[in-house]
Amino acid sequence: MKRLLPFVLLASAMGSFACVAQPALPLDDRQALIETLLERMTLAEKIGQLRLISIGGDMPRERIVEEIAAGRIGATFNSVTRADNRPMQDAALRSRLGIPIFFAYDVVHGHRTIFPISLALASSWDLEAIALSGRVSASEASADGLDLTFAPMVDITRDPRWGRTSEGFGEDPYLVSQIAGTLVRAYQGERLSAADSVMASVKHFAVYGAVEGGRDYNVVDMSPQRMYQDYLPPYRAAVDAGAGGVMVALNTVNGVPASANRWLLRDLLRDDWGFRGLTISDHGAIDELLRHGVARDGREAARLAIEAGIDLSMHDSLYLQELPGLVERGEVSIELIDQAVARVLGAKYDLGLFHDPYRRIGRAADDPAEVNAESRLHREAARQVARESLVLLENRERTLPLRKDARIALIGPLADSHVDMLGSWSAAGVAAQTVTLRQGLEAAIGESGRVIHARGSNVTDDAGMIEYLNFLNWDRPEVVQDSRSPQAMIDEALGAARDADVIVAALGEARGMSHESSSRTSLTLPASQQALLEALVATGKPLVVVLMNGRPLQLGWVREHADALLETWFAGTEGGNAIADVLFGAHNPSGKLPISFPRSVGQIPTYYNHPRLGRPYVEGRPGNYTSQYFEEPNGALYPFGYGLSYTDFEVSKPQLSQRKLKRGQRLEVSVTVKNRGARAGATVVQLYLQDLVGSAVRPVKELKRFEKLSLEAGETRVVRFSLGEEDLRFHDARLDFVAEPGEFEVQLGLDSRAVQSARFELL
Ligand code: BGC
């Protein structure tokens, strides 16, 4: 028998709003509940459910509360405490039908505890660590009354000029897909309705990471084969993992803006992939249909968006203004509106909000006295995850690890910066709660060692760049200039270096440089930092460069002159401690690059899994009339999958269980990995496949499996991978997903370049 609860009882049990008599709702039957509500709702109430309003945007909070109480808002975002969200939920329950609202936020790499940026999480190649970051994020966000996160962001990018490279997980479809599924499961927990689960809304659907020239919001134009093969899999993985939401991208996809793209949102997402959740437009995207020039006016924009399949409209007024008239004139059917409303109601149902609208807001009496209390942070998890994400790029003469009795000159504009440690999209993270590199080193260094700190330079002295960075949507200017002259700062740094055994230089980008809309034409260190670095190099002291940045940088000069190079990205709340753990060797670095580092901007794109060519450049042979740039060697400076350790690993040639594979059979691939060094360490064994002859041109290699493993000094382990026909499939010229008979090469190694291979044939 269905449970029929008078909604008024449930709501009044929460005790915080005036009772409005409502008939019973079938709370235990999702479909019946949705249908019952749809029958009761007026058109205005339905359209209200399709509005997602930004708190802190144009509308004052009092107005928002009134609008919610009038049933004209379905959800909000950017309000992040229980105390702030409770009055809004009270207002929703005061509305005629008492439909709860939900609260969303960009919890991208942490909520109060900030984990390393997404690109850094991907560098860990550690799905357990990534899951931990997701679970902690969900528990912290839900404890603040939040129900949904606009994450994971799984846009593949091959162009580091794009500022949002920092927000994604790199260039590889397989790695990013694995992370996408992992994070969806981590955010949503075992049951989405649980008080500590939040709904994942994967973004930005689709192919946003391929904006032309890496310039944000630019067009995307791509062959269907490339789209299916390389760019769509991560979104699909998130959908298959049960993501409740999909956020629609701002860009065009082959000529049609994603927000008006019926093929994308209906044919592909709903019909082919079977997605049944909620679609959400990106900020202001429906308005932007006018500027794209696909809609004559607001009315047409609203019609295009709802017809394409956008359920919830983020920060637009067009649904509110135009949908009533469109429905009344019969230009948009009420069925279309009902379908969108049903999905919003369904999301609220799945989140458990009909059963308990205060599921995540809780009772006022239980609110934290201090939202930023230390006790609410998960520092240990943040440190553990951050350590896994650091990538050792160079270590000549074993400069690292440092000795604890060393005198260290710590120099650089990022050495003591709290705010930059947070990286972009730092949710409710508080800069002052981050551990800077200076703090981390000082905490770790022994009694006999010393840290001598000097800033050395500003992040940049370029007035235009500073103005831009401080104009980004932060609460206050972030890039604060030292008023001393560049030379005075360098002199101070050289003074610090004079008394030191080793220099640690913390250089890179201000966090705003790798951010939404922060596309760059150059990937070099800003001139102020390059000048500082050159002065430090000239001292002849051992030099460790600790990079903090949100995208691959052009590192040729740095690589040549630094003794050690550690890529730390933006490492989050515990960044300084995690980096110190690696610098002093308490943790042996094991991160691997999830994206290729180009030698120069002119070389972009440098992705490793490129299709084969008729005139390939072959290293060591003359380059004439081959595919190359004549001023520079081919290939990335640091390839995908690359990263060093303080120990040395040896990998055997891959052994295959058979040379001929029948369909339906499994191929077992094994390799022996040995830690040849004197200390324990972890590495990532990577398995790539190449289809040697195909009906369409196939990539030189594609990642198909990986395993991160820890080995004691001297330890040997056999790593086994199992492959099947599904791993050999690709989208052919007709977009059929097929495995063609013929020879394949298995390539195994500890990065994408240094591999050993073996062949087999698919019969
Ligand atoms: C971004 C989204 C984000 C949204 C809400 C947009 O500008 O493109 O990624 O989720 O704002 O903050």
Of residues 84, 106, 282, 691, which has the active-site annotation?
Answer: 282
Q: In angstroms, rounded to a whole number, what is the distance separating the alpha carbons of residues 748 and 328?
A: 62
Closest atom, ligand 1, to C-alpha of 153: 9
Cβ contacts of 38-46, under 8 Å, gap ≥ 24 = 38/338, 38/341, 38/342, 38/345, 40/97, 41/97, 41/341, 43/324, 43/327, 43/328, 43/334, 43/337, 44/71, 44/72, 44/324, 45/71, 45/72, 45/95, 45/96, 45/97, 45/99, 46/337, 46/338, 46/341
96 Cα–ligand 1 center, Å: 31
Which tokens belong to 569?
């990205």
Q: How far is the CA of 283 from the centre of ligand 1 (A)?
A: 6
Tokens of 206: 């689709």
What is the separation of C-alpha 649 from the centre of its chain, rounded to a whole number of angstroms?
30
Residue nearest to atom 4 of ligand 1 (CA): 283
- C-alpha 424/C-alpha 444 separation (Å) is 27
Task: Give the whole-angstrom CA distance, residue 653 versus residue 148.
Answer: 46
Substitution site in 516, 517, 519 for ligand 1 pocket (most atoms within 8 Å of beta carbon): 516
* Order of strands across the sheet that contains 742-749: 660-661, 755-762, 742-749, 681-691, 702-711
Residue 379 corresponds to which amino acid? Answer: R
Ligand 1 centroid, distance to 106 Cα (angstroms): 7
Residue 614: exposure state from Cβ atoms within 10 A (0-12, 13-18, ≥19): exposed
Mean pLDDT per segment of 10 residues, for the chain of length 763 residues? 40 42 85 98 98 90 96 97 98 98 98 98 99 98 98 98 98 98 98 98 98 98 98 98 98 98 98 98 98 98 98 96 98 98 98 98 98 98 98 98 97 98 96 98 94 98 95 80 97 97 98 97 98 98 98 98 98 98 98 98 97 94 93 95 98 98 97 98 98 98 98 98 98 97 98 98 98
pLDDT of res. 14? 43
- SS3 for 51-82 is EEEECCCCCCHHHHHHHHHCCCCCEEECCCCH
**Cα distances (angstroms) measured from residue 488 to each of 410, 451, 529:** 17, 20, 14
Q: Mapped to the 3 state alphabet, what secondary structure does 571-636 carry?
A: CCCCHHHHHHHHHCCCCCCCCCCCCCECCCHHHCCCCCCCECCCCCCCCCCCCCCCCCCCCCCCCC
Do residues 642 and 593 touch, judged by C-beta distance below 8 A?
Answer: yes
Nearest one of 540, 544, 542, 512 to 526, comparing CA atoms? 512
Contact 519, 162 (CB under 8 A): yes
Provide residues with CB under 6 Å of ligand 1: 106, 150, 203, 282-283, 516
Cα of 686 vs centre of ligand 1, distance in Å, is 33
Do 97 and 24 contact (CB within 8 A), yes or no? Answer: no
Q: Which two tokens stand for residue 725?
A: 């026909």
Q: Is 297 a catalytic residue?
A: no
60 burial level (CB within 10 Å; 0-12, 13-18, 19+): exposed
pLDDT at res. 8: 41
Q: In whole angstroms, what is the distance from residue 109 CA to residue 656 CA?
A: 39
Q: How far apart are CA 27 and CA 46, in angstroms?
A: 19
Contact 423, 551 (CB under 8 A): no
Which residue's alpha carbon is nearest to atom 2 within ligand 1? 282
Give distance in angstroms: CA of 701 to centre of ligand 1: 34
* Euclidean distance between CA atoms 118 and 170, whole angstroms: 9
Specify the residue with its C-alpha closest to ligand 1, atom 8. 282
Ligand 1 centroid from CA 136, angstroms? 21
Measuring CA to CA, how many Å separate 163 from each of 159, 219, 344, 757?
A: 9, 15, 31, 36
Residue 1, pLDDT score: 36
| Confidence (pLDDT) at 15 | 38
Distance 282 CA to ligand 1 centre (A): 6
Q: Are strands 256-257 and 252-253 parallel, antiparallel or unpaired?
A: antiparallel
Q: What's the 129 CA to ligand 1 centre distance in angstroms?
A: 25
Measured distance CA(102)–CA(83) in Å, rounded:
14
For the CA of 315, the nearest atom of ligand 1: 5
Distance from residue 68's CA to the centre of ligand 1 (Å)? 22
C-alpha separations of 177 from 152, 154, 183, 620, 747 in Å: 11, 8, 10, 35, 20
Measured CA distances, 561 to 383, 492, 565 (Å): 30, 21, 10
Q: Phi, psi at residue 597, to the nearest 5°?
A: -100, 115
Backbone angles phi, psi at 747, to 5 degrees: -120, 125
Provide the token pair at 302.
């609203």
Residue with tokens 């009092």: 62
Beta carbons of 177 and 135 less than 8 angstroms apart: no
Residue nearest to atom 6 of ligand 1 (CA): 283
